Chain A
């Protein structure tokens, strides 16, 4: 249990703290600004102002809704891998490939040695922190996912690629800690893709987080958890952010067999459905989880980033999360 670690870091959270995974839908004004920037109708400064306005709006909204640990909403990011690839040398922008359904992204291509030269996310983390007194998560894409979700034309092996990514993401984690960030989330949705590579992913995560004074979360989603549990608990993080709603809580029987030994951010709403869950549905999902997991170790959030929903849907889903957490928190206290 890492609540003591949080306290040491000066962060006091209520039982069942509510957070979100990272991304929120971009407001229309920002969508237009991004499109205009792409068509060279506006410059970097104008786009940056639109991004800042959107971050500010989402910070205010999260405060208003009552989330406990906030995110900046990733208003300045497109895809989670491409964003980092654009900031690290050694990558080229690839063409569009499909992620699912009608969703596509520019999958980066590694064409040279990947190198970090300047902080990537720190300026945004600082900006968001300046807007609120609540804790703000720093959010990075993890080395395994950067490797697995990029084409590789440079490194000889997947392991070489993954460890090279880890060394560079370590620089960014250090920069966030140096700026005062105390909760850092390393997104690793790809980590269950090849269970035989879990040891490599663990080695890479250790490179990123080892010795850094921060509370680390890793977000893993939409994978074959059964194949990497309980081995995944060896990842050098304090908290696992998991999609428990979409996966229909299929991990709970695994947790019964082999205890979940870390904190968990328990996803209770499906982010890929337009349907906003009824409060009692969300409450039941969380209640099921708490039958297996100690309340002290559980954070509550949506399954994944909410960027694919409309702002109204995202807010309604966050409200459902908060409502469920509040009911169960009141019961526990």
Chain B
């Protein structure tokens, strides 16, 4: 009563209630779904990592032993050497791959080559993305191995070991570095060059003072991505590494070969270290990259420079030649009887893979996993990104979700797989039934490739108006309806991109699956590794080629489908341009 007297406009209930927004049904649904996505990332990313950490400090009976395993590890010279090998080989790959990709990217963005040539070069340069990392290793074995076509070029040196790994990884990482550097180089402000020319600055000085500094972050980013890729890659060193030990192969040997989970966990932690560091650098750098270009920048248009253009063209032809020679050798190997003794063309390897052995099952398993990952992955990723981008007042939830979404990139597939073995194989885990199923393979793919897809989705979502949800609420339309009627159609190109990405990467992925497959759920990339181990190079090359062909066909079909779909559903886009 007194309150009423003092403040007549305050209703007593409101006066005594603690302030807090009442949640509508919509907001409850949004939070519930977001919690489900977060729970998935927690159970399938954070918990397995924690499980590795736990194994690293426990003995076989589960007693806490502190840093004993780490000490053992560091006192074993052979193990320690693997760590050093990993580091220097990765550094060497960075030193070759990044400068090459930079010149290539420079040619694509800053030269006056015909557009169709640039497009062709670009397509050829992206081919390595379609193949498992094993393929390039197999190919280099064919070129430079004991019976290699060009073995004489090595002059007695063996390809098995560091040289082979470096060659194969340069091939594998080239498109990754190229994509980043093309982006960095296309973000040029043409006005800067005009100002420099007006000040009579020589081309070389323009390059040193404008071009290079503007790509600084791109170069750092590309280097960290390449470094991380090589440190955590398993396929190439397994095939062409010989007795040359690296961390990733060591994890495999410790866990699968010797069942030494404790040392495996320690190596896993070490494997995580460079990834996390380079990932952190990359993250900081990427933020700066964004702020570089202002809305007032004018895109750079290259002017013809005869000599430079010709040299760049020559360079691109050379690089593309090498890339094609690599993939070409793998395909060639799959089409001849037996290198180097019987070069007669044959389809018997394909026949063997698809009809005579159980490798067909592996191929179809891979197809199945890739297809399900594409559909489920793009759905989960997009819904998760949508909810954290467009839901109000999430506070801590938003930050936690974003951190987990971004963490996945820092975790090598091998480490993730190892975490799954330790976490889901644990007898007390109620989710243990997932172990040894196709489902866990799909989940591991979704989680392992979560970050890039998440960032693609976030970028697309940031481009659409932030107030759609507010408008819907004011019109009393549930946000789910607006999501399906507006947000999804508007973001369809990005969603389709995410789906294709998931398909291609899970089709070729090896490191994630190597700990998780069973004879029933074996994937093509694992099968290739086994065949290579057994010396069945022909069938291995055939299966690898099949993966490349499948991914290529899927990409082509995808882009055709996308075009048809977009022309049907995106009439508003075309009209806007006209």
Check if A and B associate.
no
